[in-house]
Structure 1
Amino acid sequence: MVQPQTVKREAFKHRDGFVILEDVTIGVCDTCGNRYYSAAILHAVHAVTTGAKAPERTEQIPVSHLESA
């Protein structure tokens, strides 16, 4: 069964990078842990990625390549 759960931060990948929503309520499956998002959440992510809504802030994310053995 999918239960609502409020999470501190949830990251969404899109073609140009990531958007992080904070203090958002998502659905989480009790059995497998799958995460489910409402249309309102997905519309909010889309609004930020298209520039229709400005983000509250921008954070830097460290990026590195894994060295091959």
Structure 2
Amino acid sequence: MTCKCIETVNEKLASRNTRLSQAIMFGEAKHPGLMIETHQIDKGRGKMKAVSMFLTYCAFCGTKYGEDAA
């Protein structure tokens, strides 16, 4: 990953005892990235379940994860 956004944001969140959730991926995508956790709105039988999203681009600067600096 070429950007340092995750580290920068985590440093700023530390004063609030918080940090970003990072996912470790296996297979083709072997780089750590951000995972956006979602919450189910309507609960109950037959309702769609919440899904998590794994980002391929940095949500802060737009750099593609896994690309090496040129």
TM-score range, shorter chain: under 0.3
Q: Which has the higher strand share?
A: 1
Point out which structure has higher relative CO (alpha carbons under 8 A, 6+ apart). Answer: 2
